[in-house]
């Protein structure tokens, strides 16, 4: 079953269970997926769906940070609940050590040396690790590999 089909099934289950919080988040995800399909005239595969989920999670993290600074715990809780629902659709993430090992392999393959090759290494890392790792952590690992 594709990730897109799984999300649709989860939406039906949430409707039957009258789980409004989960249902709202899943509908938000489906709207984002539909928007992408309509805008780009494509049918989303699992990789594209994971990219959308990643984007929505990043938005939630940013919102949580902003709401926490403003002292709005009610909104922080709402965003955190949405983020936990969305994280269920992500594949297992690589650990920091696994990310570092992958980055070292990419650096070796490309023969990269020094901070000037950061763009080249990040391009390759993005292709290889998209959906499997947090790109912020990948970026940090690339920086340390090229400067250290």
Burial (CB count within 10 angstroms: exposed 0-12, middle 13-18, buried 19+), residue 27: middle
All CATH 1.10.10.410 domain ranges of the chain, comma separated, are 96-147
Alpha carbons 5 and 115: distance in angstroms, whole number = 42
Alpha carbons 140 and 114: distance in angstroms, whole number = 14
User: Residue 148 has what pLDDT?
Assistant: 65
pTM above 0.85, yes or no: no
- The predicted model gives 126-144 an average pLDDT of 78
Contacts of 31 (CB under 8 A, 6+ apart): none
- The predicted model gives 45-56 an average pLDDT of 86
- The predicted model gives 72-92 an average pLDDT of 90
- CATH 1.10.10.410 is held by the domain 96-147: yes
User: Tokens 């995800």 belong to which residue?
Assistant: 29
Confidence band of 93 (pLDDT split at 50, 70, 90): confident
All CATH 1.10.1510.10 domain ranges of the chain, comma separated, are 3-87
CATH superfamily of 3-87: Uncharacterised protein YqeY/AIM41, N-terminal domain (1.10.1510.10)
User: Residue 74 has what pLDDT?
Assistant: 93
pLDDT tens digits for 111-121? 767 777 778 87
């Amino acid at each position: 079953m594709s990730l897109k089909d799984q999300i649709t099934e989860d939406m039906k289950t949430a409707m039957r269970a009258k789980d409004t919080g989960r249902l709202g988040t899943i509908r938000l995800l489906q709207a984002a997926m539909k928007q992408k399909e309509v805008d780009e005239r494509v049918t989303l595969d699992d990789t594209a769906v994971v990219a959308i989920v990643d984007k929505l999670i990043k938005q939630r993290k940013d919102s949580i940070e902003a709401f926490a600074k403003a002292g709005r715990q009610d909104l922080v809780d709402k965003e955190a609940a949405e983020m936990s629902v969305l994280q269920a659709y992500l594949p297992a993430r690589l650990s920091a050590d696994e990310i570092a090992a992958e980055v070292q392999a990419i650096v070796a393959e490309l023969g990269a040396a020094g901070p000037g090759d950061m763009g080249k290494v990040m391009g390759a890392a993005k292709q290889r690790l998209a959906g499997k790792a947090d790109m912020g952590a990948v970026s940090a690992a690339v920086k340390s590999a090229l400067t250290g």
